[in-house]
Amino acid sequence: MNVQTPFQLVHDPARHQRSLLKSLLIIIFIFSAVIGTINVVTFDSWQIASFNYTSMISAILIGWLYRRTGHLLVASWLLCAAVIFNLFSFILLAKGGAYSLIWITVLPPIAFFLLGKRAGSWLTGATFVSLLTFLFWQMPNLPSTAFSTGAFLNITEVLLGHWLIFRHYEGSREAAFAEMERLSITDKLTGLHNRAKLDSILEMQMAYLQRLDQPFVVMLIDIDYFKRVNDNFGHLHGDQVLQKVASVLSNSVRKTDEVGRWGGEEFLLLCPQTDLASAIQLANSLREQIEREVSTANLTITVSIGVAEINKYMPVTEALGRADDALYKAKENGRNCVMHA
Ligand SMILES: Nc1nc2c(ncn2[C@@H]2O[C@H](COP(=O)(O)OP(=O)(O)OP(=O)(O)O)[C@@H](O)[C@H]2O)c(=O)[nH]1
């Protein structure tokens, strides 16, 4: 069974492409309809207009297929194939005249943005090379006003320029997008997930839980008397304590667990497929490990932990409320201990 992990459900790096695909289909539909009509009405050219209408119909069909299957990659490849087919047909039909070649420059933005840097490079490169080969062989037969050796060189340079520029642009856009996304979900001080990211993971974990009905535990971990650390040793030292606690937490939990900074000196740990007894055992081991590894000769650091088991009928706010109540009990109970809801 192909079950998406909660992280995959939250993370949709292709959303940029999804919105682009939809916009392109609408643009191609409108554009082809308008240009097709101009070709019929103004130039009386049914032959060229038939290609415009083929474009229009292919946009409708690809849109329909995408709506039905949601398969972005297939729709993107089909769209690129339709664009290339129409471009070549049009250029051949116009016999390379009327600067019809200029149309080939619409391919790079579509291919690079929809297919990414690698596939975009290959497809655009192969199409440009095919076009240049065609021009090279056809040069003697083409209208001399449009095509000379100089024109051929100019076109080669423009195509190469486009290829390089879009390849570079798409590479840097992908990198910038990934970095921006990483920063928007990361806590700057500790490098753990921030609250926004934890919120979305928690929401997806609950959806996952409702589908699979497995045990699931949330834990709130709060550093005891942290205000005193800041007051007595300074904020910088307080920050270092937070970083060390974060490092113990992220290095000690399972890969399937998710840990993040919930706020101030409080951390949230999400443990899917974990029952209450194992979670309490884990919480106690984390508590002891933090005391052992973060404390120094003149400063003892301890944490209080509230543990709550979640069932699939519980809203997210109730799940967190239970963990918070358990944490409150741990603080009431003298701190440096684990309590469960
Ligand atoms: N250095 C540092 N301190 C922080 C940060 N965020 C919150 N704090 C401090 O954490 C302290 C939290 O204090 P309290 O809420 O009174 O809690 P506490 O002193 O840990 O007491 P208990 O939780 O009841 O054990 C405050 O002094 C905040 O200024 C941070 O990013 N860096």
Q: How far is the CA of 279 from the centre of ligand 1 (A)?
A: 25
266 lines ligand 1 (CB under 6 A): no
Residue 244 has pLDDT above 80, yes or no: yes
The mean of the pLDDT values for the chain is: 87
CA nearest to 320, candidates 194, 192, 189, 195: 195
pLDDT tens-digit series, residues 98-126: 667 777 888 988 898 889 889 999 999 99
225 lines ligand 1 (CB under 6 A): yes
Q: What pLDDT does 154 receive?
A: 60
Q: What pLDDT does 332 receive?
A: 96
CA distance 131 to 145: 19
- Looking at mean pLDDT, say which of 6-15, 157-166, 198-207, 260-269 comes out highest: 260-269
* Three-state secondary structure call for residue 306: strand
Q: How far is the CA of 328 from the centre of ligand 1 (A)?
A: 15
CA distance 279 to 285: 10
CA distance 25 to 66: 11
222 lines ligand 1 (CB under 6 A): yes
pLDDT tens-digit series, residues 172-196: 788 888 888 888 999 999 999 999 9
Q: Does residue 309 have an active-site annotation?
A: no
Instruction: Taking each helix axis as running N to C, give the angle between helix 15-41 and helix 107-138, from 0 to 180 degrees, rounded to the nearest 10.
Output: 50
Tally of CA atoms within 13 A in the half-sphere of 126 that contains its CB: 9
Q: What pLDDT does 241 receive?
A: 97
Residue 50 has pLDDT above 50, yes or no: yes
Domains and CATH numbers, the chain: 6-184 (no CATH), 195-340 (3.30.70.270)
Q: What pLDDT does 7 receive?
A: 44
CA distance 260 to 187: 8
Our measurement of the distance from residue 325's CA atom to the centroid of its chain's CA atoms, rounded to an integer in Å, reads: 35
Helix spans in the chain (H): 6-10, 15-41, 46-69, 72-93, 107-138, 149-184, 195-212, 226-233, 235-252, 276-294, 316-332
Report in angstroms the alpha-carbon separations of 160 from 56, 129, 166.
Answer: 29, 10, 10
Q: What pLDDT does 270 receive?
A: 95
Which residue in 170, 265, 266, 309 is the catalytic one? 265
Phi, then psi, of 338 in degrees rounded to 5: -115, 130
Report in angstroms the alpha-carbon separations of 123 from 84, 120, 325.
Answer: 10, 5, 58
Q: 296 has which bridge partners?
A: 299
Q: What pLDDT does 87 receive?
A: 83
15 lines ligand 1 (CB under 6 A): no
Other C-beta atoms closer than 10 Å to the C-beta of 79 total 23
Residue 56 has pLDDT above 90, yes or no: yes
Q: What pLDDT does 132 receive?
A: 87
Q: What is the CA radius of gyration of the chain?
A: 30
**If you take atom 4 of ligand 1, which residue's CA is the nearest one?**
264
Q: How far is the CA of 22 from the centre of ligand 1 (A)?
A: 48
Paired tokens of 214: 């497995």
Residue 92 pLDDT grade (very low, low, confident, very high; cuts 50, 70, 90): confident
pLDDT tens-digit series, residues 9-21: 445 667 778 888 8
Residue 2 has pLDDT above 50, yes or no: no
The model's pTM is 0.64
> What average pLDDT does range 301-313 have in this prediction?
92
Q: How far is the CA of 274 from the centre of ligand 1 (A)?
A: 29
CA distance 210 to 202: 12
238 lines ligand 1 (CB under 6 A): yes
CA distance 82 to 54: 9
Q: Are 108 and 127 in contact (CB under 8 A)?
A: no
Paired tokens of 298: 């003149």
CA distance 216 to 265: 24
Range in 32-36, 49-53, 167-171 the model is least confident about = 167-171
71 lines ligand 1 (CB under 6 A): no
Q: What is the DSSP letter of 201?
A: H
